[in-house]
């Protein structure tokens, strides 16, 4: 079994989060809103868990919802990669955040139901959201120059 570099996976998915959320959202303050979404999502995940974080992203307002779903898409893809060594069927990993019911069932039954999996996924989601937050902040600072 080959080892996975979870830091690299988190960084790659965080870059995709910023790019995809920025493309999905409109308005001047997109990067600031992405940074805010990542920060708040991470706080919910740290305090209440990944299921609560998933619900939080689904409940964003209409202006932030496209960015929230872009972030959730990357978190789901990341969870599929890090949970792979653990017993889970790849076909059970939702492909898109737009599949709300399937995503919630996946997170509850395939991720949260196993302590080792939920701890691993929580850790890499937090890492990816940290990178997303600072990636958006850095891009915003670069654009202001």
Task: Give pLDDT, residue 82.
Answer: 82
Residue 138 inside a domain? The answer is yes
> Residue 28 maps to which CATH number?
1.10.520.30
Domains contained in the chain, number: 1
Contact 94, 76 (CB under 8 A): yes
Single pTM value for the model: 0.90
**Which domain does 119 fall in, by range?**
6-144
Residue 139 inside a domain? The answer is yes
Residue 40 inside a domain? The answer is yes
Residue 1 inside a domain? The answer is no
DSSP 83: S
Alpha-carbon distances, residue 85 vs 1, 47, 80, 120 (angstroms): 9, 26, 10, 11
Task: Give pLDDT, residue 142.
Answer: 86
Give average pLDDT by consecutive 10-residue segment, the chain, 145 residues.
80 97 93 97 97 97 95 92 60 71 89 90 97 96 79
């Amino acid at each position: 079994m080959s080892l996975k570099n979870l830091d690299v996976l988190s960084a790659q998915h965080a870059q995709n989060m910023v790019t995809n959320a920025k493309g999905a959202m409109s308005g001047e303050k997109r990067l600031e809103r992405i940074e805010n979404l990542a920060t708040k999502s991470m706080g919910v995940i740290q305090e209440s868990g990944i299921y609560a974080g998933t619900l939080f992203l689904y409940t964003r307002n209409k202006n932030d919802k496209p960015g929230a779903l872009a972030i959730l898409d990357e978190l789901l893809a990341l969870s599929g990669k890090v949970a792979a060594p653990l017993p889970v069927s790849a076909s059970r990993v939702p492909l898109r955040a737009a599949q709300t019911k399937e995503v919630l069932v996946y997170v509850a039954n395939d991720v949260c139901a196993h302590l080792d999996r939920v701890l691993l996924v929580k850790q890499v989601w937090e890492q990816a959201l940290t990178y997303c937050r600072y990636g958006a902040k850095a891009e915003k600072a670069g654009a202001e120059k």
